[in-house]
Structure 1
Amino acid sequence: MSPAPESKQDRRPPYQHAADELRRDILQGRIKPGEQMPSIRELQERFGVANMTARGALNVLRDEGLIYTIHGRGSFVADHGAAGEFSVGYTPPAWYLANRDKTPPQAEQTEGSPDGSEATGATLTEMLTALRDELRALSADHQELRREVEELKSQQSKSQP
């Protein structure tokens, strides 16, 4: 049921191949932050895999912090910077770090100070994480409202003579 791997030497499971392609789509901007991920059924058709394999691919991306799931609504792409910077708490897989382009990462522009700024940094990280979570929830609500508007428009057009 699973498609043959691209290379006979690459014996990774099919869910990893699907996760890799979806990760590329996200990082290259084909699926934008806040957009809903394809459904499990769509992933099954796209990759020619079973239900659990498609779910496994989404689980990998969720564990990496690239997507988040809202029960009853679906999975959505998490926010990341325009330069491909990862969201707070995202840890890219080791193979990605080993194979990405060799450009040096941007240096952080924070200065250490003995006045307890490390504690402030931790608080800032917590605040950013809370804001990110709030934005995710608002994005999901926005998607839901869009669907409701489309449904209302279609009902209205059906009821008009």
Structure 2
Amino acid sequence: MTPASSAKPDRRPPYQHAADELRREIKAGRYKPGDQLPPYRELQERFGVANMTARSALNVLREEGLIYTIQGRGSFVADYDGTDADYTPPAWFLGNKAQADRGAEPAGKGKADSPKSADPTLSDMLTALREEIRALSAEQQELRQEVEALKKARQRPRS
């Protein structure tokens, strides 16, 4: 990581620096939608930060909707319009985040998902598929934990 070029020191936390650099690389096309990002260990070495700092950097990008993570597989670049030089988080992310901040149910859960017509757009379908994949991944993890618990219970000697 290169130091800030301005005379005024940058007081942002290290995870923000790492997130900014990764965001720039995604926007520049080094990582394309679907590409896997380097694992935490490589990010630690590259940016000279701790494991939790690398995780925090990826959390920032995940919250922005730039990446998604599949447990046990890694972090991947989400679909976005790569031609847009000034990336802003997608509307579905901003809508869900705003509703979550208010304690409301996220968009896409009710009947009236958007003010648009009932005809879903490609973006809406991709968003729905991402949410479904995340839910299935969480369910898979729960099932794995149940299987492990059953295996442990089966291995215990009966008295």
The count of residues paired between Structure 1 and Structure 2 equals: 110
The root-mean-square deviation of aligned C-alpha atoms, in Å, is 3.1
Distance 1:87 1:133 in 2: 14
| 1:11-160 → structure 2 map (5 Å cutoff) | 11-84=11-84, 87=90, 89-90=92-93, 118-120=115-117, 123-124=120-121, 126-131=124-129
CA contact (8 A) 1:37 1:77 kept: yes
Contact 1:18 1:54 in 2 (8 A): yes
Question: 1-side partners of 2:50 and 2:128: how far apart?
Answer: 35
* Residue segments in structure 2 that go unaligned for 5+ positions in a row: 95-113, 135-159
Task: After TM superposition, give the deviation of residue 118 of structure 1 in Å.
Answer: 2.7
Unpaired segments ≥5 residues, structure 1:
92-116, 137-161
User: What percentage of aligned pairs have identical amino acids?
Assistant: 65
TM superposition score normalised by structure 2: 0.58
Tell me which amino acid in the other structure corresponds to 1:28.
A
| C-alpha separation in 2, matches of 1:38 and 1:14 | 17
Deviation at 1:66? 0.2
From the superposition, tell whether residues 121 and 61 of structure 1 become closer, same or farther in structure 2 (CA, over 3 Å): farther
